[in-house]
Amino acid sequence: MGIAHLYLSLAILTEVIGTSCMKLTEGFTRPVPTIVMAVCYIAAIWLMSLSVRTLPIGFVYAVWAGVGIVVIALVGVFLYDEPVDLPGAAGIALIVGGVVLLNAFSRMGGRA
């Protein structure tokens, strides 16, 4: 894993933290979670901008969005006790499959 992939991983992590805090902001009425969310979103976009210096933007955005969706869905289930049903689980499984396919077999991510 190169530095660009590390930047992408950190972008995903900060975006997930920011999105997790969004629910805690209660419509931006709570200052601390609102500030944490904003800082995390700024950091996520900055880190993603560093990763697209060397990785294709389509690959970066697909992985960022796909992994972010899956992790946020899990955060919703485990942290916020949100339900998941069979169609939702199937959709998430398809997203995971797409990210695996991109990373394992596509040249978009800089692999030969």
User: CA neighbours within 13 Å on the CB side: how many for 26?
Assistant: 4
| 33 vs 80: CA distance, rounded Å | 15
| 41 vs 73: CA distance, rounded Å | 18
User: One digit per residue, pLDDT tens: the chain, 112 residues?
Assistant: 699 999 999 999 999 999 999 999 999 999 999 999 999 999 999 999 999 999 999 889 989 999 999 999 999 999 999 999 999 999 999 998 988 888 788 777 655 4
What pLDDT is recorded for position 110?
Answer: 59
Show the domain range for 31. 3-109
Residue 32: φ, ψ to 5°? -65, -50
Instruction: Please count the structural domains in the chain.
Output: 1
